[in-house]
Amino acid sequence: MTLWIAFSLLTVLAALAVLVPLARAGRQAATAAALHDAEVYKSQLAEVERDLDRGLISQEAAQAARTEIARRLIAADREAQRSSGSEPIAPQGDAAGRTSRLRIVQAAALVVVPLGAVAAYVAFGSPDLPDQPLSARLEAPAQGRSLPELVARVERHLADNPEDGRGWDVVAPVYMRMGRPQDAAAAYARAIRLLGSNVQRETDRGEALVVANSGIVSAEAHAAFERAVAMDAQAVKPRFFLALALTQENRKDEAIAAWQSLLADAQGGEAWAEAVRIELAKLGVEAPQVAGEGVAGPSREQIEAAQDMSSGDRQQMIRSMVDGLDARLTADGGSAQEWMQLMRALDVLGERERLRQVIARAGEALKDDPAAAAGVRDLARELGEGS
């Protein structure tokens, strides 16, 4: 509302800028152009005197110049006399034309200006969008804010308080989930420097480095995992990555030993155990199935095929598997766990739009099972698609 009041004020001002002079101008006295000319010639005469004084021109030249300028001056004076006599304020013959011109311009000011401006504004403007200064957005209450907005707030806070270790600790996993592993690794490093090292932080930092390095365990990540294992020899995650490092370094026997020792600690049903079996399978070792139903992973043939592929082909294979799963779930329905597997896969592939559609479809398919639907909602929120 205030906005439209401001618009009206501006429009009224604009219209007045046209209307007021229209109404008042008749009274002004005229100065004929010839009078201006006369003024110029007079100062030219003065200039001649100055030049003469400087010795730039001779006495005769000055006299000639004076004569020439005086002639023009007289002509201009005569012109001024004539025009001031023949140009009354409103010549009678043109009175009708004057009135109609006045009406046309008044109408334009009153109609064209407001209508034109409002019509163009409605076409181009966004009257419903408020201003959104960054500082206000960062200070607004957290409820109902999107994840990027919340992260920006934390970032702003950390830029001002770089020594706030808790802040870095909080933002690091969020970076991971947003697909910014580089930032996550840096945040973990700061948290470690400020709050001290522990198994969790070292492991998470290492993981972030691995993800940032497209899955390769770098020397830096390796060191982080080793520090974690030094603090807790039983920790599963750092051991997993160390085993992965051995695999990547092609130290086959050591890798198999490391994987098997990990598997020995499995209670059954852990998601990572499945991954370990896959890794072992890649190394050519058939691992015993541990208890727990588990969702069927890719078959051994598929894994072997995947190993020989380029990363582009591998991406392609993953996509075709995702598409297959999606088609099956859409057609025949499936368990909450299968829906969630699909959601995770889409999250990893970065297909946000499709992910949103799948979440909606999963909600629809599982609406008779409140617990399963809640699980899907939780995961959706975790993936940054909570509503």
Window 160-219: residues binding another protein (CB under 8 A):
none
The CB-side HSE value for 85 (13 A sphere, CA atoms) comes to: 6
Classified as helix, coil or strand, 30 is coil
Rounded distance between C-alpha atoms, residue 182 and residue 211, angstroms:
8
Classified as helix, coil or strand, 96 is helix
Pick the binder of another protein from 70, 107, 111, 120 (CB under 8 A): 120
Pick the binder of another protein from 32, 195, 290, 317 (CB under 8 A): 32
Stretch that binds another protein, among 117-125, 212-220, 238-246, 303-311 (CB under 8 A): 117-125
* Dihedral pair phi/psi, residue 215, rounded to 5°: 90, -5
Is residue 11 close enough to count as binding another protein by CB under 8 A? Answer: yes
Alpha helices in 196-335 (DSSP H): 199-212, 219-231, 236-248, 252-264, 271-282, 300-307, 311-332
Is residue 146 close enough to count as binding another protein by CB under 8 A? Answer: yes
Going by C-beta distance under 8 Å and a sequence separation of 6 or more, which residues neighbour residue 361?
329, 330
Q: Among residues 52 and 235, whose Cβ is nearest to another protein?
A: 52
Rounded distance between C-alpha atoms, residue 39 and residue 44, angstroms:
9
Q: Among residues 130 and 288, whose Cβ is nearest to another protein?
A: 130
Can you give the length of the chain in residues? 387
Question: Which residues, numbered 214-273, are part of the site for another protein (CB under 8 A)?
Answer: none
Stretch that binds another protein, among 60-68, 196-204, 205-213, 249-257 (CB under 8 A): 60-68
Rounded distance between C-alpha atoms, residue 161 and residue 297, angstroms:
45
Is residue 38 close enough to count as binding another protein by CB under 8 A? Answer: yes
Is residue 37 close enough to count as binding another protein by CB under 8 A? Answer: yes
Is residue 111 close enough to count as binding another protein by CB under 8 A? Answer: no
Rounded distance between C-alpha atoms, residue 298 and residue 312, angstroms:
18
Q: Among residues 115 and 291, whose Cβ is nearest to another protein?
A: 115
Is residue 56 close enough to count as binding another protein by CB under 8 A? Answer: yes
Is residue 42 close enough to count as binding another protein by CB under 8 A? Answer: yes
First to last CA, the chain: 30
Shortest Å, Cβ 208 to another protein? 19
Rounded distance between C-alpha atoms, residue 197 and residue 225, angstroms:
12
Shortest Å, Cβ 163 to another protein? 16
Question: Which residues, numbered 62-101, are part of the site for another protein (CB under 8 A)?
Answer: 64-65, 68, 72, 76-77, 80-81, 84, 87, 89, 91, 94, 97-98, 101
Classified as helix, coil or strand, 204 is helix
Is residue 365 close enough to count as binding another protein by CB under 8 A? Answer: no
Q: Among residues 53 and 304, whose Cβ is nearest to another protein?
A: 53
Q: Among residues 2 and 143, whose Cβ is nearest to another protein?
A: 2
Rounded distance between C-alpha atoms, residue 96 and residue 91, angstroms:
10
